Structure 1
Amino acid sequence: MGEARRRAAQGLPPREPKSTRKSPDTSPRIVPWLPLTQNQTRSFVAVTTRGAWIGIGAMVLFWITVRFIGPAAGWWSLADMP
């Protein structure tokens, strides 16, 4: 028996649909004429900081590969090494 029929047979009201809407951002705006809130700016800073650290890590990994792993594996030789 389906959920709707079971609830009707028991005299219960229909189930309320789940709310999938996000609650609106009620944090104050940075400036009144700009549609950016403080929560949005914090989120932006967090995302860009994480992206910067990922970029730094990728650059270090690339440098280690070019400077040490590539020459040690014989893939290439560095110009400054005899």
Structure 2
Amino acid sequence: MGESKRRKAALGEKYGQEEKIVSWLPFTNKQAEEAYKITTKGAWVGIGVLAAIWFTIWFIGPAFGWWMVQ
């Protein structure tokens, strides 16, 4: 319990607050992790949409074009 009291005395008002990534940025480590998770999910969704569009253009699109010519 002595170490906790020393840490609280040394940190003062900052005791118990989350640590920032860089002192001049207003983001904490937890906020950075959440942003990373969101952007990673967004990237995978984008890759899936891109694959679906590619599949449609290369396989389904020409099939409809061939059907319209007949």
Quote the residue 1:71 is aligned against: 62
- More contact order relative to length (CA 8 Å, sep ≥ 6): 2
Matched residue SS, 2:20: coil
Q: Distance in 1 between matches of 2:42 and 2:25?
A: 25
Q: Distance in 2 between matches of 1:75 and 1:45?
A: 44
**Partner deviation per Cα, 1:5-57 (whole Å, 9 max, x = no partner):** xxxxxxxxxxxxxxxxxxxxx42111222111001100110011011000100
Give 1 or 2: higher helix fraction: 2
Aligned residue-pair number: 51
Inter-CA distance 75–47: structure 2 relative to 1 (3 Å threshold):
farther
Q: Whose Rg is larger?
A: 1
Q: TM-score, normalised by structure 2?
A: 0.64
Structure 1 segments, 4+ long, off by >4 Å, are: none
Quote the residue 1:53 is aligned against: 44
Identity of aligned residues (%): 49
Q: TM-score, normalised by structure 1?
A: 0.55
Unaligned runs of 5+ in 2: 1-16
Unaligned runs of 5+ in 1: 1-25, 77-82
